[in-house]
């Protein structure tokens, strides 16, 4: 009987993943990470998640462990999240967390317990050929492959995504069939360490030096007003500028060096090229020549046709066929070919 370690968040997807794999004949062990604490204490939401995971594990008759990695999460994810905003970038912490924290420590536990596989409730699929390939989920509306593009070959080699071949509605049905009490539990939407999705309050509570006022200028350098901190703005934003003009104004750029918000017309928010850094390839070992891809510039954006050019200093230049709106530094640009994730990187 092959052993698999399943990351259990207390939600529907990971609970069904654990139950389904047990049904398939695996020896399943549940693992729940304690990743975030406030003043050394877990919040009520995380306590409930652990309780739900433990309850499911007991119900289906599997071992369950919890592991405290709050220090690692603070150092690798939260501190980076704060620093990104300090430099006027808009990060996606879940993308970084998946490789550096979740799958990193899940793999360590998998090896420690001498298991063959590790699994999560993510909506994605794995294909094993000469390389281990990452594919979109069958349910395109729930697909999370964008969030997983930074995974290493070793991590993918050990990974199972059993939920990737099911539609969300089917997984809810499976939870009912398995008589899991959490079958109606709502999906989590927010960044896990930010209460009520209010990242501005979170940042200001974490760092006193965030929120320094500065000028708002137009693209010609004319001062139009004052801002109360670059962290309150992102590329493409219209609301909250506090400036009256005969036409709508949008954030075009954030200049961290001069602590300046630059605004312009909607047409100024569109670009057809940008650079990415810290790239990670799944489909290839590396890129040595230009390739044509379908490219996403944020999790919820549609794929658009683009060409990826390898550049010096490990940078990649991305050129869209058509201009795209609000290409935002700190977000991830992910490349696809049909259902396959080719790779991606962080927008510079």
Which residues have C-beta within 8 Å of that of residue 43, sequence separation ≥ 6?
36, 37, 195
For the entire predicted model, the pTM comes to: 0.93
For the segment 31-63, what is each residue's pLDDT rounded down to a tens digit?
Answer: 999 988 776 677 777 788 899 999 999 999 999
Which residues have C-beta within 8 Å of that of residue 271, sequence separation ≥ 6?
323, 324, 327
Q: Can you read off the two tokens belonging to residue 284?
A: 């290839």
For the segment 254-298, what is each residue's pLDDT rounded down to a tens digit?
Answer: 999 999 999 999 999 999 999 999 999 999 999 999 999 999 999
Start and end residues for every CATH 2.40.30.10 domain found in the chain: 271-347
Tell me which residue of 221, 224, 285 sits closest to 258, measured CA to CA: 221
Pick the CATH number of 271-347 from 2.40.30.10, 3.20.20.70, 2.40.50.100, 3.30.1330.10: 2.40.30.10
Catalytic residue among 34, 42, 69, 192: 192
In this prediction, residue 40 carries a pLDDT of: 66
Residue 315 CA to residue 296 CA, distance in Å, equals: 17
Q: Indicate the helix (H) or strand (E) that contains 108.
A: helix 103-112
Quick one: CA dihedral 193, 96, 143, 302, positive or negative? positive
For the question of residue 295 being annotated catalytic, the response is: no
Residue 264 CA to residue 74 CA, distance in Å, equals: 37
For the question of residue 97 being annotated catalytic, the response is: yes
- CATH code given to domain 3-197: 3.40.50.620
- Residue 47 or residue 164, greater confidence: 164
Residue 331 CA to residue 152 CA, distance in Å, equals: 19
CA 243 to chain centre: 33
pLDDT level of residue 178 (50, 70, 90 thresholds): very high
How would you list the strands of the sheet with 117-119, edge to edge?
Answer: 63-68, 27-34, 3-7, 117-119, 159-160
Catalytic residue among 5, 35, 49, 97: 97
How would you list the strands of the sheet with 214-218, edge to edge?
Answer: 223-227, 214-218, 260-264, 250-255
pLDDT level of residue 244 (50, 70, 90 thresholds): confident
Start and end residues for every CATH 2.30.30.280 domain found in the chain: 211-264
Q: Is the pLDDT of residue 182 over 90?
A: no
Start and end residues for every CATH 3.40.50.620 domain found in the chain: 3-197
- Does domain 211-264 fall under CATH 2.40.50.140? My reply is no
């Amino acid at each position: 009987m092959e052993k698999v370690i399943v990351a259990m968040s207390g939600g529907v997807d990971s609970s069904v993943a654990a139950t389904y794999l047990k049904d398939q004949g695996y020896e399943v062990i549940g693992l729940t990470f304690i990743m975030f604490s406030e003043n050394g204490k877990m919040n009520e939401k995380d306590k409930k998640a652990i309780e739900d995971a433990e309850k499911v594990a007991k119900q289906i008759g599997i071992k369950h462990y919890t592991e405290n990695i709050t220090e690692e999460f603070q150092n690798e994810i939260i501190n980076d999240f704060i620093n990104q905003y300090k430099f006027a970038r808009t990060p996606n912490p879940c993308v970084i967390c998946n490789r550096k924290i979740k799958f990193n420590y899940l793999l360590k536990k998998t090896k420690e317990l001498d298991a063959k596989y590790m699994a999560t409730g993510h909506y994605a699929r794995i294909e094993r050929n000469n390389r281990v390939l990452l594919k979109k989920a069958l349910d395109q509306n729930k697909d999370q492959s964008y969030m997983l593009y930074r995974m290493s070959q070793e991590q993918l080699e050990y990974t199972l995504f059993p939920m990737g071949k099911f539609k969300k509605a089917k997984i809810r049905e499976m939870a009912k069939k398995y008589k899991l009490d959490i079958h109606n539990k709502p999906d989590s939407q927010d960044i896990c360490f930010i209460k009520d999705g209010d990242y501005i309050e979170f940042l200001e509570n974490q760092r006193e030096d965030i929120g320094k006022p500065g000028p708002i200028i137009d693209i010609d350098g004319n001062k139009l007003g004052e801002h109360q901190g670059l962290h309150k703005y992102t590329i493409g934003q219209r609301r909250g500028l506090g400036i009256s003009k005969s036409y709508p104004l949008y954030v075009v750029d954030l200049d961290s060096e001069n602590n300046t918000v630059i605004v312009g017309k909607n047409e100024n928010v569109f670009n057809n090229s940008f650079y990415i850094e810290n790239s990670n390839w799944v489909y290839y070992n590396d890129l040595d020549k230009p390739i044509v891809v379908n490219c996403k510039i944020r999790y919820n954006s549609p794929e658009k046709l683009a060409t990826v050019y390898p550049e010096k200093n490990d940078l990649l230049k991305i050129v869209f066929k058509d201009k795209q709106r609000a290409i935002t530094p700190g977000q991830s640009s992910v490349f696809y070919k049909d259902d396959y994730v080719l790779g991606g990187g962080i927008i510079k």
